[in-house]
Amino acid sequence: MMLHPDFAYTSFAAPFDRSGNGGNEAERLNPTEQLGKASGILIVEDDYLIAMEAESALTDAGFSVTGVAATAEEALEMANQRRPVLVIMDVRLAGRRDGIDAAGDLFRDLGLRCVFATANDDHQTRARAEPFRPIGWLTKPYTMVSLISLVRTIISKPN
């Protein structure tokens, strides 16, 4: 489990305000309030058992899970509809696109940053993801305790 070194200096998942009116409510809230007021956490994982275990663990820990997607396309559609504040993203997904492609779209379009949960934790993978400012990395196989711990660490950081 590793937090991105930039994390302490930036907000983690508030959408960009493109209106010019000084920001929306989600941008003014601290991360804990964001998770309480917004749609919660989106899980993007194509392994059904891992996805269900993560959803159950996060829910049992008191977090709101907005949905589970198995492909990049599903993730983008869910994020646009449900506006999560945090995304747990596998790198290798079912379908034509991978999690880094999806993370790029989520970052550019919605200002969402991801926690990458993947077995593909190599330099090349991290370099591809770096422009989208990942919040952290969970290397598979990871435990649900480490997932919950990382999410709690992320939401406890000030904006």
Q: What is the structure's pLDDT at 12?
A: 34
d(Cα 19, Cα 57) in Å, to the nearest integer?
37
* Nearest Cα residue to 96 out of 61, 72, 120: 72
What is the pLDDT at residue 4? 43
pLDDT, residue 121, reads 83
Beta bridge partners of 89: 44, 116
pLDDT band at 156 (very low <50, low <70, confident <90, very high): confident
- pLDDT for the residue 20: 36
Give the pLDDT confidence score for residue 103 in this predicted structure: 98
pTM for the whole thing? 0.76
What DSSP assignment string belongs to 80-124? HHH--SEEEE-SS-BSSS-HHHHHHHHHHHH---EEEEES--SHH
Instruction: Compute the average pLDDT of residues 92-121.
Output: 94
Res. 18: pLDDT tops 80: no
Model confidence pLDDT, tens digit, residues 27-37? 333 444 444 44
If we measure between CA atoms, which residue out of 89, 111, 112, 108 comes closest to residue 100?
A: 89
